[in-house]
Amino acid sequence: MPFAVYVQDLNPLGFRVLSTVVAALPVVVLFYLLVGRRWLASKAGAAGAVVAILLAWLVYKMPLEMAGWSFVHGAVFGLLPIGWTVFAAMLLYNVTVEAGQFAVIRRSIGALSGDARVQAVLIGFCFGAFMEGAAGAGSPVAICGAMLVGLGVPPFKAAVICLIANTSPVCYGGLGVPILTLESASGIPGDKISVVCGHQLPILSCLIPLYMVKTMCTWRETLAVWPALAVGGGSFAVFQFFFATAHYHFGLPPVWPLTDIGGAIFSMITLALFLKFVWKPRDEWKFAPEKPTAPPPAAVPHDPVSEEAREEAALMLENPAPAEAEKPLTPGRVILAWSPWVIMAVLLALSGLLKDAEKKGPIDLGLANSFYAEKVPTLHNEVERAYDLQKLAPPDAAAKGLDVREGERGTRLREREAAEFRFIWLTAPGTPVFLAALVSMALLRLSPARVGRVFGKTFYQMRIPIPTIALMLGLSYVTKYAGMDATLGVAFAETGVLYPFFAAMLGWLGVFLTGTDAGSNALFGSLQKITATEVWNAHHDGAMSNLTLDQAQVLICTANSTGGVMGKMIDAQSICVATAGTNQIGKEADIFKAVIWHSVFLAAVVGALTALQAFVWPFTRMVPH
């Protein structure tokens, strides 16, 4: 095979510290614009991508055309399948809102208990997980916060409760978009990532309901409802584990995109049956009525991020069919309201079967194939990985005609980076969800005018999230192919055996700054894989002897996402949506102060769990082979 056009150099400036600083500049610029200048994520992502392309060309000496195609490669994946999935999920949600059925769902959940502690678990945690899986984009905090306020929970407490609750379900938000993004950035199959998520997050799901209720009341009042906490958190944890790992433990088709939705529905059913037939709180606990307080100032400084969040919350909370929504609840009406999500689940399960069949190649559908793969111009197999990142060559490499490279650390294989556009249109989660939305439009008898309203609203809502995802992935692909993330990975590897803990904290920082778990995974997915490789190479015969290289990579990369979810409660977008949903504009700083240490503590818990799975038997057996 001829030499590659571009060979990665991890130290292009000849001074490792300076090269590391330069490699970090795209992310630093991105974070500065997001936090310091309060730019919208889409604009900040575009600026970060421009900086990355220029540095790849001018400092890392990557041909400009290759840097440009690297960006296009990532951006295209951000549109299909990720952007398509986000759009379809929001479309289905908007169909139920337009038809008045989502209001029926909310009423059916809110009527299950009058105890504020139990309502927090049912609505803030279980129903919030459903909303995260179905729509994401801040919907759990806005909608569940408004529901709790309507049931008598003080607005400030409602915001804090929902922010804490919207953590352990976030990895599977929007039908698993964060995992799809991490798969794209790291190259690790989403099926493997989901298994590690399914071995970590259920532990946290058992903890979160107790944690959030404790923020509402005393220990005595919290423990008085321990059966509801155990059943609510425990049942969600069990179903979360099942959906996340069904393909690994039970030999079923992959259904992990349904983890939040399926886990939440079954958990709500389990807790509802438990409250109806087995146990009720001895005393129905409610918050004492609050004294009227002066409303927050209506005039706030112009802030594009806050304004976008408030508009997003307003769109989520609108109910264009109030008369339909206020009809008496009957079993038939409740079943009809939930039917779009049942249809979606069935179609997603069927697509899982097709996805298994696609492992052998695209399915011939007669008029078209189920997916298409096209080599990226100038990029496919034209980038040679840096010497330090290549695998050791076998002793008979020369005899086998393998292309090798000599260096201070032995003879290594010349490995090249593949780059293919994969247009997976049939089994991308967005396709069955889109079909479910179309079927639901017919089932709920939406008129053409209302169908047009739903599509128009969805396009408007997605005008920022989808371009943001595409730009973030474009940025990450430039740093990946240029070798900039590898420069950072080698630097992070200097933390040694402490890195599994810090991997989770890096993901937490990424979500805090970008506002999404998907954004953090796009930025740091490849970096985490490279760092995991370096740490394992240094410690595989010692501290990490219980893990293979593949296991170390999937564990560390997944920690970026599972640790990242704990940053969701403190990112600017979530806090702004929380204040908008609970009508507390102007109290963003107070809410941030109320949740920051909860966020840090829970992220540290994920970091500690990751470290146990990296080093300590039998926790290491939780990492899939």
User: What would the pLDDT profile of 543-598 be if each residue is shown by its tens digit?
Assistant: 899 999 999 999 999 999 999 999 999 988 888 888 888 888 878 889 999 999 99
Please check the confidence at residue 483 and state whether its pLDDT lies above 60. yes
User: Domain for residue 384, yes or no?
Assistant: no
Q: What is the mean pLDDT of residues 523-547?
A: 91
Please check the confidence at residue 326 and state whether its pLDDT lies above 80. no
Say which range, 200-204, 295-299, 580-584, has the weakest mean pLDDT.
295-299
Query: How sure is the predictor about 353, in pLDDT bands with cuts at 50, 70 and 90?
Result: confident
- pTM, whole model, 2 decimals? 0.90
pLDDT of 239: 96
**CA–CA dist 462, 458 (Å, integer):** 6
Please check the confidence at residue 604 and state whether its pLDDT lies above 60. yes
**CA–CA dist 149, 141 (Å, integer):** 12
pLDDT of 297: 52
Tokens of residue 32, six digits: 């500065």
* Rounded percentage of the chain residues whose pLDDT exceeds 90: 63
On average, the pLDDT of the chain sits at 89
User: Domain for residue 298, yes or no?
Assistant: no
Please check the confidence at residue 106 and state whether its pLDDT lies above 80. yes
Query: How sure is the predictor about 134, in pLDDT bands with cuts at 50, 70 and 90?
Result: confident
User: Domain for residue 200, yes or no?
Assistant: yes
Considering 117-131, 283-297, 387-401, the range whose residues carry the highest mean pLDDT is 117-131
Q: What is the mean pLDDT of residues 2-28?
A: 89
pLDDT of 246: 94
Domain ranges, residue 590:
22-281+303-379+418-622
Q: How many domains does the chain have?
A: 1
User: Domain for residue 30, yes or no?
Assistant: yes
Please check the confidence at residue 3 and state whether its pLDDT lies above 60. no
pLDDT of 1: 46
More reliable by pLDDT, 297 or 253: 253
Please check the confidence at residue 249 and state whether its pLDDT lies above 60. yes
More reliable by pLDDT, 248 or 407: 248
**CA–CA dist 561, 547 (Å, integer):** 20
Residue (of 366, 407, 401, 352) closest to 10 by Cα position? 407
pLDDT of 415: 84
**CA–CA dist 404, 411 (Å, integer):** 7
User: Domain for residue 37, yes or no?
Assistant: yes
User: Domain for residue 428, yes or no?
Assistant: yes
**CA–CA dist 32, 457 (Å, integer):** 31
Residue (of 203, 195, 178) closest to 255 by Cα position? 195
pLDDT of 67: 96
Please check the confidence at residue 357 and state whether its pLDDT lies above 90. no
Q: What is the mean pLDDT of residues 605-609?
A: 96
* Rounded percentage of the chain residues whose pLDDT exceeds 70: 96
Say which range, 141-155, 322-336, 439-453, has the weakest mean pLDDT.
322-336
User: Domain for residue 424, yes or no?
Assistant: yes
Count the Cβ atoms, other than its own, within 10 Å of residue 114. Answer: 15
User: Domain for residue 591, yes or no?
Assistant: yes
Task: Give CA separation, 115 vs 34, 139, 214, 265, in Å.
Answer: 40, 23, 14, 20
**CA–CA dist 23, 32 (Å, integer):** 15
pLDDT of 330: 86
Q: Which burial class, exposed, middle or buried, applies to 424 when counting CB atoms under 10 A from its CB (0-12, 13-18, 19+)? A: buried
Which parts of 294-373 fold into alpha helices (H)?
Answer: 304-317, 322-325, 331-358
Please check the confidence at residue 299 and state whether its pLDDT lies above 50. no
pLDDT of 295: 52
Please check the confidence at residue 540 and state whether its pLDDT lies above 60. yes
Q: What is the mean pLDDT of residues 219-240?
A: 96
Residue (of 57, 48, 93) closest to 75 by Cα position? 48
Please check the confidence at residue 292 and state whether its pLDDT lies above 70. no
Angle separating helix axes 173-186 and 84-98, nearest 10 degrees: 170
Q: What is the mean pLDDT of residues 613-617?
A: 94
Residue (of 175, 164, 125) closest to 147 by Cα position? 125
